[in-house]
Structure 1
Amino acid sequence: MLKTRDKKKKEEHIDESWLIPYADMLTLLLALFIVLFAVSTVDAQKFESMANSFKSALNGGTGPMDYTSPVSVVEKSSIPVAETVITPEDDKEEDANIDQVQLEEIKKRIDKYIEEKKLSRSLRTTLTESGLIITILDNALFASGSATVKKDAVGLAKEISQLLVTDPPRNIIIAGHTDNVPISNSNFDSNWELSAHRSINFMNLLLENKKLDPRKFSQAGYGEHHPVAPNDTAAGKAKNRRVEVKILPNK
């Protein structure tokens, strides 16, 4: 009878030794999640709050949740953190790129006009970092030694004025240039004066277009001092006698 009772007690006793490795596995998983969480965030306040919640759920004790801040873990982490910082210089560069694209569109429009009117011998465009330059050879606008725009060139000046209308309006410089041959008439004492009067007269014609803002315009006379070709040939001198319309960048 006694043996029967002992046998029943042994049968009623359940082997719980499997709980130890199971608990160790849970602890390791918990530690893994905590490390991942610490690496992925630097919010110490949220980390501490989460740690306290886990400790309460597990009835206290020591272990991975005893850390109160993820700072030490983050400092030891070798995972690089990529940061994108936008500086004022980046903004300026982006604005400059956009502005350059807009000037390219204006250039295409003017080039199309030059092609349609078959004016490639007298007009050309050049896009530089300092602006878009429309070059008009002086024989298309002026008689030799004169600053008066020729009658058959007045229509050309008015058509060019339409091409200068932009939104928003841009600053524009009208510059006169000559070759190095000294002026020899009673109207002008030097090539400085001739180039300056030519730029003023041409600018006045452009500004007859009321869509253009006079406050955006300025003029300059450079005489023979900014040549684009040698003055030792007739062809070179012809290239140097010119009026330039420079459309400036907005920035």
Structure 2
Amino acid sequence: MSLTMERAKSSWLLSFGDVVTLLITFFIMMIALNKGEISKLQRWVDDQVTASYEHVQAQMAQTPLQMVQVYRNARGIVLVINQPDAFISGGFEPSAALQSELMALGQVLPTIPLFALNSQAQSREVIEHAKSDGLVMRIEVNVEGHTDNDAIDPRSSLRNNWFLSTLRAQSVMQTLHSASGLPSQLFSVAGYGEHQPIDSNQTVQGKANNRRVEVLITASFQKQDAP
């Protein structure tokens, strides 16, 4: 077979290689554009969470709370309850002092900007644009209970630290839900017992720091579930 015929037979490989290269380039560009769009949405959500955090701070400054502290982290807005007299000793029911503060906090929650995004034209536009790309806005109020590692009295009906932490989180959630009037589907409860400490359980102060309930308010865009 002549050299010319060999070149003619293999020339299609060059064209095929060009097509594959173009397709790969196209898909890389599409992925890059999509990631850029998602990053913009994430920054927008982060701005909304920060604005809501500043709002909560301002509201709590007007009515100082002794039992609840607020801070902002990468997950969202965190309201922390870890005062020694926050709950009835050895139980899961909030003390009178904590119950009063939870009622006041529940009145603040509906005023947080995150819960009013649909009432703002610009925010609705962003949410609808994301929805057209298959993304939905999720706002959640997660109430998480934590304990130290001291064992529960085996004669107690509380059984173990998981049970105690969950019941404390649930009691806080129920009060906030009732006082705020926010939809039930926003709320969730988790009990972690002693398994997510923030301090050493080898000291009295460390154990006190670990006995806490955290109310985490988060917002994010997530893939819409298929119908």
Q: TM-score range by the shorter chain?
A: 0.5 to 0.7
CA 1:227/1:206 → structure 2, altered by over 3 Å: closer, same or farther?
same
Secondary structure of the residue aligned to 2:201 is: coil
1:225 to 174, 183, 195: 195
Write out the 4+ residue segments of structure 1 that deviate beyond 6 Å after TM superposition.
none
Deviation, 1:115, is 3.2
Correspondence list, 1:145-224, <5 A: 145-165=90-110, 166-168=115-117, 170-184=139-153, 186-209=156-179, 211-224=181-194
Secondary structure of the residue aligned to 1:237 is: helix
The one-character-per-residue Cα deviations of 1:96-134 (angstroms, maximum 9, x if unpaired) are 111111111221122233434443x64333323322211
| 1:126 equivalent in alignment to 2:94 | no
Q: Is the CA contact 1:161–1:206 (under 8 Å) kept in the aligned structure 2? A: yes
Secondary structure of the residue aligned to 1:98 is: helix
Q: Which runs of 5+ in 1 are unaligned?
A: 1-83
Deviation, 1:140, is 5.1
Q: Which has the higher strand share?
A: 2
Aligned-pair identity in percent equals 27
Letter in 2 for 1:175: E
> Residue in 2 aligned with 1:22?
none
| 1:237 equivalent in alignment to 2:185 | no
- Number of residues of Structure 1 aligned to a counterpart in Structure 2: 167
- Scaled by the length of structure 1, the TM-score of the pair is 0.60
The one-character-per-residue Cα deviations of 1:48-101 (angstroms, maximum 9, x if unpaired) are xxxxxxxxxxxxxxxxxxxxxxxxxxxxxxxxxxxx998121111111111111
Equivalents in 2 of 1:109, 1:229: separation in Å?
29
Q: Is the CA contact 1:138–1:243 (under 8 Å) kept in the aligned structure 2? A: no
Letter in 1 for 2:142: I
- Scaled by the length of structure 2, the TM-score of the pair is 0.66
CA 1:244/1:118 → structure 2, altered by over 3 Å: closer, same or farther?
same
Equivalents in 1 of 2:85, 2:185: separation in Å?
27
Correspondence list, 1:7-156, <5 A: 87-119=33-65, 122-139=67-84, 141-156=86-101
Deviation, 1:209, is 2.9
- RMSD of aligned Cα (Å): 2.3
Equivalents in 1 of 2:186, 2:93: separation in Å?
23
Q: Is the CA contact 1:145–1:194 (under 8 Å) kept in the aligned structure 2? A: no
| Higher gyration radius (CA) | 1
Q: Is the CA contact 1:111–1:124 (under 8 Å) kept in the aligned structure 2? A: no
Equivalents in 1 of 2:105, 2:200: separation in Å?
28
Q: Which runs of 5+ in 2 are unaligned?
A: 1-28, 118-137, 222-227
Equivalents in 1 of 2:203, 2:63: separation in Å?
28
